[in-house]
Chain A
Amino acid sequence: MSDAIGSPDPALPEDVLFSVRGLRKYFPIQAGWLKRHVGDVKAIDDVSLDIRRGETLGLVGESGSGKSTVARLMLRAYTLTGGQILFRRANGTVVDLSTLSDREMRPLRAEMQMIFQDPYSSLNPRMTLLELVGEPMVIHGVGNQGEIRDRVAELLRVVGLRPEFINRYPHAFSGGQRQRIGIARALALNPSFIAADEAVSALDVSVAAQNINLLQDLQEQFGLTYLFITHDLGMVEHIADRVGVMYLGRLMEVAPTKALFSKPLHPYTEALMAAVPQPDPRGNRARKRVPLKGEIANAANPPSGCSFHPRCTYAEARCAAEVPALRLLEGGRQVRCHFAEQLSLTGAVA
């Protein structure tokens, strides 16, 4: 690790691991056989958030809201259109990932990893666990064969798989176990940050619970920082310290979990919470649900002003005309709504 990337940055608070500022990702729309550039799909538009060391930031929203894209941009799996991604390295220096070339990025990838949703398609069926979990070490040139084998066996033990399985192929494992293989692989290089993209969404409830507990244990054991992307609000309330709510490529609200669930400040957050049926038949009957009308708009042709205004029950003329800014309110809360202070919204939890 003798690379010279990164410099001490006094502007970034000591406890912040990731700081995303004004992040943008536009995908061009091309038309005709000349592939003329006729517009942009604004997949991510002006997203700013901080992730503190050791915390779990949950990111929720409907499909197409851009939550996976944010994670992929932070890990530089996509090149960004605009904005800054500041990352505090293990050695304390701060780098702006948006300025790095792919080559410069490579040594930093050891410090940030990802866990994927589908444990079937994310593991190469022709590789054994030794090859799968050991691959990051081979790529980063860490250790010789014997050391890699020892480390893989240890990682398998850490995620609750038997080290004897080291020469087996993924098909021999259930969905929950495959997810653990993916977790072991993500841990191989001792990262400080893991983005979990719908990591338990494909699993049955009892298996999901086991894997959630594992992720929490690992966080405690290795001091990991998580970006936890999910559409399951129950899960995010359980695991996250703070939650960001996304809609149509924009961050609508960021708040500490408890505050968000008891008193949402954005109408979209309220609508999202109201939509989730709870495993509580009496509660469901008592709570009158007003389902959100319509569907998420097309990102290639977003509504004017606040992108949520056509579906918002509280919308006024100003909402169609003026894009609300992501404002910082007391209690460390951020919200992108003109009327956040006036509205008194209902949360999912009293």
Chain B
Amino acid sequence: MGSETMTRSPMPPERLLDLDDVQVHFPLREGLVKAVNGVSYHVDKGEVLGIVGESGSGKSITARAILRLLPKRAVAAGGTIRLRPRTGQDYELSALDRNSHAIRQVRGRHIGMIFQEPMTALSPVHTIGMQIMRTVQLHMGLGRAAARERAIDLLAKVQMPRPAQLVDAYPHQLSGGMRQRAMIALAISCDPSLLIADEPTTALDVTTEAQILDLLKQLQSELGMAIIFITHNFGVVADIADRVSVMYLGRIVETATVDDIFYAPKHPYTQALLRSIPRLGVDQGRRLPTIPGMVPDPFSVPAGCAFNPRCTHAVAGLCDTTVPPEKTFGSQTSRCHIAEQFTTAGKPAHV
């Protein structure tokens, strides 16, 4: 839908990234998997958008579609992705080839990315300094000496101890938290307008996680960059995000400000997920409410609302036949037929 060329509305001035009806399909022997099935979201300059969802919901694949880093067998089956970084040019990322000159200008320069496992994302045979230097030499045209200086500055900025020495360290010589700091230094090396962070703290201990979250928040306000923060941890998203999108089976089911997601969710899936997390101080000994059934396998996504077989509010004849439209309530959107029934009570959804 929605991609009748040339007639798209222009992006508002505060908009940095805009995804419209993005589709990513995997044609497999067993059938077609619509891993991303019509995802639309936007990121404004300087904000943190949290994307939460269970494994297989398509949150990482959507992020990879933005950078055109999809797996080889994936098909970008439709939709548009537009980016307008601080430098002012307009990019239509969805039209770019994965190896095009233009997308290589965008990666690293305008969009930085950090991954869950820094050991696999960093090169094991180059020092972290060399990896940062290569990036800034390429994108910012710095000479060797200037690039090395910038690498040391960046390591200092991510609060790496002894940056002047550790610039010559290899990733395996660093601890997990230090490696993630090096990864962040690399990602922000060219002052990107957008940072995509895919589960950056999942592999870390809670104390290190708190340090990295604080660092990201501080860098975000210092450098004025926007962040797409992908996670399955509701605690982390509550801590860092301004707005949150919840994904289920390739679709965004709800988007709202972080407070509305946690205190006035308008999608039964969001509500059910929030109820199933044990929270400090509220549920000692109580049975955790669970979501009945399991996430259906991607070859047989239920008709209508994909969540309907597990939903306690499902209306027969409606939810199992018709895909719910996106309903808007101020800044909140929900893909649920009966979203208006969930009124804002202003109290936590789990009480």
Chain A residues close to B by CB (< 8 Å): 62-63, 174-176, 204-210, 212-213, 216, 231, 233-235, 237-239, 257-258, 261, 271-282, 284, 289, 291-292, 295-296, 348-350
A98–B291 Cα gap in the complex (Å)? 44
Indicate whether B238 reaches chain A with its CB closer than 8 angstroms: yes
Asked if A289 contacts B210 (CB within 8 A), the reply is: yes
Besides the known contacts A204-B55, A234-B278, A238-B284, 11 further A-B residue pairs in the complex with CB atoms under 8 A apart: A175-B55, A209-B276, A210-B290, A276-B235, A277-B213, A277-B235, A278-B279, A279-B238, A281-B258, A284-B239, A289-B214
* Shortest Cβ distance from B57 into A: residue: A204
For B240, what are the chain A residues with a Cβ–Cβ distance below 8 Å?
277
Asked if A280 meets B262 with Cβ closer than 8 Å, knowing A174-B294, A233-B206, A275-B210, the reply is yes
Asked if A237 contacts B206 (CB within 8 A), the reply is: no
Indicate whether B211 reaches chain A with its CB closer than 8 angstroms: yes
Asked if B287 contacts A216 (CB within 8 A), the reply is: yes
Asked if A275 contacts B206 (CB within 8 A), the reply is: yes
Asked if A62 contacts B207 (CB within 8 A), the reply is: yes
For B107, what are the chain A residues with a Cβ–Cβ distance below 8 Å?
none
Asked if A279 contacts B262 (CB within 8 A), the reply is: yes
Residues 196 to 241 of chain B near chain A (Cβ within 8 Å): 205-211, 213-214, 232-236, 238-240
A289–B238 Cα gap in the complex (Å)? 14
- Distance (Å) between the CB of A127 and the closest chain B CB? 23
For B262, what are the chain A residues with a Cβ–Cβ distance below 8 Å?
279-281
A-B contacts counted at CB < 8 A amount to: 132
Question: Considering residues A207, A277, A291, A348, which has the most beta carbons from chain B within 10 angstroms of its beta carbon?
Answer: A277
For B294, what are the chain A residues with a Cβ–Cβ distance below 8 Å?
174, 176, 207
A175–B294 Cα gap in the complex (Å)? 11
Asked if B210 contacts A205 (CB within 8 A), the reply is: no
Indicate whether B314 reaches chain A with its CB closer than 8 angstroms: no
Chain B residues close to A by CB (< 8 Å): 54-55, 175, 177-178, 205-211, 213-214, 232-236, 238-240, 258-259, 262-263, 272-274, 276-281, 283-291, 294-295, 348
Q: Which of A207, A210, A258 contacts B284 (CB 8 A)?
A: A258
Asked if B207 contacts A292 (CB within 8 A), the reply is: yes
- Distance (Å) between the CB of B288 and the closest chain A CB? 4
Q: Which of B205, B239, B287 contacts A63 (CB 8 A)?
A: B205
A261–B178 Cα gap in the complex (Å)? 30
* Shortest Cβ distance from A176 into B: residue: B294
- Distance (Å) between the CB of B197 and the closest chain A CB? 15
For A63, what are the chain B residues with a Cβ–Cβ distance below 8 Å?
205
Asked if B291 contacts A206 (CB within 8 A), the reply is: yes
- Distance (Å) between the CB of A229 and the closest chain B CB? 14
A62–B272 Cα gap in the complex (Å)? 29
Q: Which of A212, A273, A278 contacts B235 (CB 8 A)?
A: A278
For B208, what are the chain A residues with a Cβ–Cβ distance below 8 Å?
62, 295
Asked if A238 meets B214 with Cβ closer than 8 Å, knowing A176-B294, A205-B54, the reply is no
Asked if A212 contacts B207 (CB within 8 A), the reply is: no
For A278, what are the chain B residues with a Cβ–Cβ distance below 8 Å?
235, 238, 279-280
- Distance (Å) between the CB of A233 and the closest chain B CB? 7
- Distance (Å) between the CB of A82 and the closest chain B CB? 28
Q: Which of B210, B259, B274, B281 contacts A261 (CB 8 A)?
A: B281
Asked if B206 contacts A234 (CB within 8 A), the reply is: no
Q: Which of B232, B279, B289 contacts A280 (CB 8 A)?
A: B279
For B263, what are the chain A residues with a Cβ–Cβ distance below 8 Å?
282
Asked if A62 contacts B280 (CB within 8 A), the reply is: no
- Distance (Å) between the CB of A349 and the closest chain B CB? 4
- Distance (Å) between the CB of B30 and the closest chain A CB? 13
Asked if B290 contacts A209 (CB within 8 A), the reply is: yes
For B205, what are the chain A residues with a Cβ–Cβ distance below 8 Å?
62-63, 231, 296
- Distance (Å) between the CB of B286 and the closest chain A CB? 8
Question: Considering residues B177, B205, B207, B213, which has the most beta carbons from chain A within 10 angstroms of its beta carbon?
Answer: B207
Asked if B238 contacts A238 (CB within 8 A), the reply is: no
- Distance (Å) between the CB of A132 and the closest chain B CB? 20
Q: Which of A261, A276, A280 contacts B206 (CB 8 A)?
A: A276
For B207, what are the chain A residues with a Cβ–Cβ distance below 8 Å?
62, 271-272, 275, 291-292
Asked if A234 contacts B277 (CB within 8 A), the reply is: yes
A174–B285 Cα gap in the complex (Å)? 27
* Shortest Cβ distance from A291 into B: residue: B210
* Shortest Cβ distance from B289 into A: residue: A209
Q: Which of B233, B272, B280 contacts A206 (CB 8 A)?
A: B272
In the complex, 8 of the A-B residue pairs with CB atoms within 8 angstroms, ordered by the A residue number, are: A62-B206, A174-B295, A175-B55, A204-B295, A212-B288, A277-B209, A277-B210, A280-B238
Asked if A204 contacts B288 (CB within 8 A), the reply is: no
Asked if A205 meets B239 with Cβ closer than 8 Å, knowing A234-B279, A234-B280, A238-B284, the reply is no
Asked if B211 contacts A233 (CB within 8 A), the reply is: no
- Distance (Å) between the CB of A210 and the closest chain B CB? 5
For B235, what are the chain A residues with a Cβ–Cβ distance below 8 Å?
234, 276-279
A155–B294 Cα gap in the complex (Å)? 21
Asked if B259 contacts A204 (CB within 8 A), the reply is: no
Asked if B234 contacts A205 (CB within 8 A), the reply is: yes
Rank and list the top 8 A-B pairs by shortest CB-CB distance, nearest first: A349-B281, A238-B278, A277-B239, A209-B276, A279-B234, A277-B235, A204-B54, A275-B210
A274–B175 Cα gap in the complex (Å)? 22
* Shortest Cβ distance from A202 into B: residue: B55
- Distance (Å) between the CB of A290 and the closest chain B CB? 9
